[in-house]
Amino acid sequence: MSWSRERFLAVLASAHHAERSWVDERRSEGLSVAHGKKVVLPNHNPRTDHCPNPDSVGAVQIELKLRNLTFTEPGDWPHSTVFVDDLNGLAKGTTPFAWVYLSQKTGQWVWLCALDRDDSWKEQVIWDGMRKFNVPTLVAPKRYLRHANELRSILLPQQLLQCIEGPAAAFRGAVPEGEGGAADDRTAEPQKQRGRPNVKADKQSPRTARTRNRQADIDLG
């Protein structure tokens, strides 16, 4: 059977239905996924043309850490390791896709990806000089730091938000006052713990090593 526009549209409709089913299944699991619109270009040539609209878009968590360190890219990170995050928080919440480390001194940023985690990422007890107590911390080797442009290339460009079914104002910065970053005082709901068990901050585990917070973190949490 020769390829025709009619056949192309039939295949497109079948694929769109499969995508919708996958998105609905993820939503039924309580996950945040949006379905992309199918856009057919006028005089579309399936051999040479490409329409960049996404099949679906999933919301992932990106943790932002402000660091009192001088760096501009992964190569000049001033330590051999990176204090990734507080293990107590990681045990209770959703695993971030990325941790972004922003230099308070240069304004530049680098990041770590959760998919890179392996046995070389260690658990250590770190003394937090600002909060004045020991914090069980995930520590990664410096070599896992990534350039900012690698994350930029993954994040969805704003012009493609029009290709998602439903409103997406929050991703454009168009949110009502009092939302999206402002302080929101509310009673915390108990969360079901995920992953590893809670680690006591002031009790050193025999598997961990106590280390002074030499990275001078502004925000370890």
Residue pair 71/110 in contact (Cβ under 8 Å)? The answer is: yes
Which of 12 and 135 is assigned the larger pLDDT?
135
Residue pair 215/130 in contact (Cβ under 8 Å)? The answer is: no
Task: Please choose, from the candidates 52, 85, 82, the residue with its C-alpha nearest in 3D space to the C-alpha of residue 69.
Answer: 82
Tokens read off for 9: 């549209």
Distance of CA 186 to the CA centre of its chain: 24
Q: Confidence class of residue 215 from pLDDT cuts 50, 70 and 90?
A: low
Q: Tell me the per-residue pLDDT of 165-211, one tens digit each, with 9 for 90 and over.
A: 888 888 888 766 555 555 555 555 555 444 444 444 444 444 444 55
Which of 15-19, 128-132, 181-185, 190-194 is predicted least confidently?
A: 190-194
Strands (E), the chain: 33-35, 56-58, 62-67, 81-86, 98-103, 109-113, 122-128, 133-141, 210-212
Tokens read off for 160: 């493609």
Q: Residue written as tokens 């995508």? A: 19
Number of Cβ atoms within 10 Å of the Cβ of 219:
14
Alpha-carbon gap, residue 53 to 151, rounded angstroms: 19
The three-state DSSP-derived secondary structure of 98-114 is EEEEEECCCCCEEEEEH
Contact partners, residue 34, CB within 8 Å, separation at least 6:
23, 56, 57, 58, 59, 164, 165, 166, 168
Of 38-47, 122-131, 192-201, 208-217, which has the strongest mean pLDDT? 122-131
Residues facing residue 82 across a β-bridge: 140
